[in-house]
Structure formats: C-alpha cells, structure tokens
Amino acid sequence: MVPPLPPDSDGKTLSFKASILWNRLLLGTIEKANEQLKAIREIEADRIKKIDPRV
C-alpha cells in the first residue's frame, strides 16, 4: 500500500519520507515477484524432466 500524499502535494512529487516508504514497498513487491518467478521456473523444469528424463 502506497502512503497517501500530503494535502499540499501536487501529486507529482513525494517527500523524502514518502519516497523511502514507497521504495521499500516497491522493493518488497519486486522481491515477491522474483520469488514467484523462481517457483514457476522450478515447476517448469520439473515438468520438462518428467516429459523427457534425459534433460
């Protein structure tokens, strides 16, 4: 969840604190996506090995 912008914000800029929070959330989301992609690659590799054990 992205922290709300302050009332005087133009919606185009973030304060330093808000940018730190936003970056942490973004990095957490990227890490979660990377873990999901790794799991998908492992599942696909296992599936291919079952189809052709020589791989």
**Entry pTM:** 0.64
Where does residue 14 rank: exposed (0-12), middle (13-18), buried (19+ CB within 10 A)? middle
pLDDT tens digits, one per residue of 7-52: 566 667 778 888 888 899 999 999 999 999 999 999 999 999 888 8
Asked if residues 14 and 22 have their Cβ atoms less than 8 Å apart, the reply is: yes
SS3 letters for 11-48?
CCCCCHHHHHHHHHHHHHHHHHHHHHHHHHHHHHHHHH
Report pLDDT for 18.
81
| pLDDT of the residue at 13 | 77
* pLDDT band with cut points at 50, 70 and 90 for residue 6: low
